[in-house]
Chain A
Amino acid sequence: MTRRGLAFAAMCLAVAILLAAGLDHALAQAATPFGVGRPDATVSGPMGGFGAWVMAEQSRFYRQLSSAIRAAKENGTAAWGLIGLSLAYGVFHAAGPGHGKAVISGYLFASGATLRKGVLLAFASAFVQALTAIGLVAVLALILGATASQMDDFALVLERASYGLIALVGLLLVARKGAAFWVVLGPSLGLATVPAHVHGPDCGHIPLPEPGGAGGRGAVAAVLAIGIRPCTGAIIVLVFALAQGIFIAGVAATFAMALGTAVTVAAIACVAVLAKGLAVRLAAPGGTGAALALRGLEFAAALAILGFGLALFFGAALPVGQA
Chain B
Amino acid sequence: MRRLLLALSCLIAAASTAAAHPHVFVTSKSDIVYAAPGLVSGVRQTWTFDDMFSSFAIQGLDTNKDGIYSREELQPLAETNVESLKEFDYFTFVKIGGKPILLKPPTDYWLEYKDNLLTLHFFLPLATPQHQGEKPLAVEIYDGTYFVAFTFDETKPAVVEGAEGCVVDVHKPKELDPALAAMAAQLGTDDPGTLASNPSFGASLANTILVNCP
- Genuine A/B complex: yes
| Contact, CB under 8 Å: A48 / B14 | yes
Task: State A315–B137 Cα separation when bound (angstroms).
Answer: 39
Contacts of B58 in A (CB 8 A): 148
Q: Does A196 contact B (CB under 8 A)?
A: no
CB distance from A18 to the nearest CB of B (A): 9
Please indicate the chain B residues that have their CB under 8 angstroms from the CB of A84 in the complex.
Answer: none
Known A-B contacts A26-B188, A278-B4; A42 and B20 likewise in contact (beta carbons under 8 Å):
yes
B residues in contact with A59, CB < 8 Å = 21-22, 149
User: Which 5 A-B pairs give the minimum distances between C-beta atoms?
Assistant: A51-B17, A12-B9, A35-B84, A35-B80, A96-B19
Apart from A12-B5, A32-B84, A278-B4: 19 A-B pairs, beta carbons within 8 A: A9-B5, A19-B13, A33-B24, A34-B85, A35-B83, A36-B56, A39-B189, A42-B20, A51-B182, A55-B185, A56-B181, A97-B20, A148-B57, A235-B56, A237-B52, A240-B55, A242-B55, A271-B11, A278-B5
- Inter-chain CA distance A148–B176, complex, in Å, is 30
CB neighbours (8 Å) of B148 from chain A are 33-34
Asked whether B163 is an interface residue with its Cβ less than 8 Å from the other chain, the reply is: no
Chain A residues whose CB sits within 8 angstroms of the CB of B59 once the complex forms: 141, 146-148, 151, 239, 242-243
* Chain B residues in 8 Å Cβ range of A35: 77, 80-81, 83-84
Interface hit among A60-68, A120-128, A206-214, A217-225: A60-68
Residue of A nearest to B176 (CB): A56
Question: For window 33-85 of chain A, which residues contact chain B by CB distance below 8 Å?
Answer: 33-37, 39-40, 42-56, 58-59, 62-63, 65-66
B212 within 8 A of A: no
Residues of A within 8 A of B14 (CB): 48, 50-51
A-facing mask of B1-37, CB < 8 A → 1, else 0? 1101110110111111111111111000000000000
- Among A5, A151, A243, find the residue whose CB has the most chain B CB atoms closer than 10 A: A243
Secondary structure type dominating chain B contacts? helix
How close is B120's CB to chain A, nearest CB, in angstroms? 8
CB <8 Å contact, B12 and A55: no
Q: Decide if B183 is an interface residue (CB 8 Å cutoff).
A: yes
A102 contacts B18, CB within 8 Å? no
| Interface presence of B186 (CB below 8 A) | yes
B51 touching A240, Cβ below 8 Å: yes
Complex A-B: 12 CB contacts under 8 Å: A15-B12, A25-B190, A26-B18, A32-B84, A35-B84, A42-B19, A50-B17, A55-B20, A58-B21, A95-B19, A146-B59, A236-B56
Q: Which residues of B contact A32 (CB under 8 A)?
A: 84, 147
Asked if residues B56 and A16 are in contact (CB atoms below 8 Å), the reply is: no
Q: Is the CB of B153 closer than 8 A to any CB of chain A?
A: no
Q: How far is the CB of B8 from chain A (nearest CB, A)?
A: 5
Q: Are A1 and B1 in contact (CB under 8 A)?
A: yes
Q: Does A229 contact B (CB under 8 A)?
A: no
Cα distance A262–B88 in the bound complex, in angstroms: 34
Tell yes or no: B98 within 8 A of A by CB.
Answer: no
A190 in contact (CB, < 8 A): no
Determine the distance from Cα of A62 to Cα of B21 in the docked complex, in whole angstroms: 9
Cross-chain contact B56 with A239 (CB below 8 angstroms): yes
| A34→B81 contact, CB < 8 A | yes
**Bound state CA distance, A33 and B162, in angstroms?**
30
Given contacts A11-B9, A30-B147, whether A66 and B52 have CB atoms under 8 Å apart is yes
Report Cα–Cα, A268/B16, bound state, in Å. Answer: 10
B17 near A47 (CB under 8 angstroms)? yes
Partner of A31, one of B2, B4, B56, B84: B84
A275 CB within 8 Å of chain B: yes
Q: Does B50 interact with chain A (Cβ within 8 Å)? A: yes
Q: Which of A32, A244, A271, A321 has the most CB of B within 10 A?
A: A32
Is B178 interfacial (CB 8 A cutoff)?
yes
Interface set, chain A 229-248, CB cutoff 8 A to B = 232-233, 235-237, 239-240, 242-244
Q: How far is the CB of B158 from chain A (nearest CB, A)?
A: 21
* Cα separation A232 to B176 with both chains bound (whole Å): 23
In angstroms, Cα B184 to Cα A52, docked, is 10
Give 1 or 0 for each of A1-12: 1 = CB within 8 Å of chain B CB: 100110011011
Task: State whether the Cβ of B170 lies closer than 8 Å to any Cβ in chain A.
Answer: no
In the complex, whether A289 has a CB less than 8 A from a CB of chain B is: no
Instruction: Say how far A8's CB is from chain B's closest CB, in angstroms.
Output: 4
Are A52 and B182 closer than 8 Å at their CB atoms? yes
Q: Is A261 an interface residue (CB 8 A)?
A: no
Tell me the complex Cα distance, A287–B61, Å: 67
Residue-wise interface mask of B (31-74) relative to A, using a CB-CB cutoff of 8 A (1 in contact, 0 not): 00000000000000000001111011111110000000000000
A263-301: which have CB < 8 Å to B?
A: 268, 271, 274-275, 278
**Would you call A271 and B12 a contact (CB within 8 A)?**
yes
Decide yes or no whether A145 CB sits under 8 A from chain B.
Answer: yes
Q: Are B19 and A65 in contact (CB under 8 A)?
A: no
In the complex, how many angstroms separate the beta carbon of A224 from the nearest chain B beta carbon? 22
